[in-house]
Structure 1
Amino acid sequence: MNWDLEKPFVMPLLVQAGDIDALGHANNAVYVAWLERCAWQHSTSLGLGIEVFHRLDRAMAVVRHEIDYLASAFDGDELALGTWLVDWDRRLRMSRRFQLIRLVDGVTLLRAQTTFACIELSSGKPRRMPEEFIQGYGRAFGKTP
C-alpha cells in the first residue's frame, strides 16, 4: 500500500450496509467513527486502554478534526485505515494523522489530522500528561524519555 508515512498502525474495515447513506456511499459521520475506533485501537496497542485512562483520571480529548474526504466508500468495500502519532509536546497536546485506503484499487479515500489535549476526566480541565502516557505514546515515536 502507498502510505503517506512509514509504519502505520492499521485497522482493517469492511463497509457495511448500515454505513451507507441516502446518497449511496459511506456517510461522513461513519468516517469520523472509524477514526475514533482506530485511535482507540492504536492507543490500546500502546498499553493505554480506557481502563488506564479511568485509573489515572486522564484522557486525550479531541480538540480539532481536520478531514479531507477524497473519494467515496461503498457497501462491501474492504478498507485499511492507517494512523500515526506525528507530534506531541509531552505535556498537553498530541496530533495524530490518518489515511484511509480502499484495498481493491489502492485509492486514498480520506486524509485527516486530529489534535488532542490531555484532560482530567473528573473535572474536564486540561492537565499534564501522566508519566504512563509519556511512556506509552513514546513507543509510537520509537522512543521514551
Structure 2
Amino acid sequence: MSTVFDLEITVQAKDIDSLGHVNNVVYMHWMQDVATAHIDALGLGLREYLELKHAMVAVEHHVQYRKAAFEGEKIILRTWLDDINALYSFRQYVFYRPQDQSVLFMGNTKWACVEIATGRPKRMSPTFSQAYQPISEHVNPLNFSQYDVTASN
C-alpha cells in the first residue's frame, strides 16, 4: 500500500511569468518533479527503470488551476497513486499553500508502462505492480492539517 507523498518547495523568480504569478507550464514541471521524487522514494526510479528495461511514461494529463502562486511562497506538492492495472497507473496531484490553507492546483496523469528500447506498451512487471500501489481508501489525500500554521498557536 502506497501513501501520499509530499514535496515542499518555495516558488522561485524563474517560476514567475509576465503576469506576476507562477506560469501554468511550471505546474506541469512540478507534477513531474513530485512524481519523480515519489517513485524514487518507492525504490523504483530511473535507475531501476533502466535496469528493468521498461518505464512509466505520461500519456494523458488533466489539470485544474484554482489559485495563483507567487514568488517566495511555500507550496506543498502532493501526489499519490489511486489506481493501477496491467498497463497503466493513475496518479493524482494537489498543490497546497499552507499560508492561507489554499488548494492552488489539482491534476491527474495516466501513466503507461513501455519497453524503453521500443517505446511499445508492456505489461507491468511484478516489481512495478508491487511498488505502485494505490493509497488506502481510508486515507484522505486532501488532509493538509499537519501544515496548518494556526494549529500550533
* TM-score for the superposition, normalised by structure 1: 0.89
Alignment of 1:112-123 (within 5 A): 112-123=107-118
Q: Does 1:15 align with 2:11?
A: yes
Candidates 94, 105, 126, aligned match of 1:110: 105
Where does the alignment leave 5 or more consecutive residues of structure 2 unmatched? 137-153
Alignment of 1:15-54 (within 5 A): 15-54=11-50
Shift of 1:103: 1.5
Shift of 1:93: 0.7
User: Could you tell me which residue of structure 1 aligns to residue 151 of structure 2?
Assistant: none
For 1:37 and 1:58, the matched residues in 2 are separated by 20
Shift of 1:136: 1.3
Aligned residue pairs, count: 134
For 1:48 and 1:95, the matched residues in 2 are separated by 16
Q: Identity percentage over the alignment?
A: 38
Is contact 2:84-2:132 (8 Å) kept?
A: no
Shift of 1:141: 3.9
Q: State the 4+ residue runs in structure 1 displaced beyond 2 angstroms.
A: none
Alignment of 1:1-145 (within 5 A): 7-89=3-85, 91-138=86-133, 141=135
Specify the code of the residue in structure 1 equivalent to 2:75: L
Specify the code of the residue in structure 2 equivalent to 1:113: N
CA offsets per residue over residues 104-135 of structure 1, 9 Å max, x none? Answer: 01100000010011000100000011111112
Q: CA RMSD in A?
A: 1.1
Is contact 2:4-2:135 (8 Å) kept?
A: no
SS of the equivalent of 2:21 reads coil
SS of the equivalent of 2:132 reads helix
For 2:21 and 2:105, the matched residues in 1 are separated by 14
Specify the code of the residue in structure 2 equivalent to 1:67: V
For 2:129 and 2:4, the matched residues in 1 are separated by 19
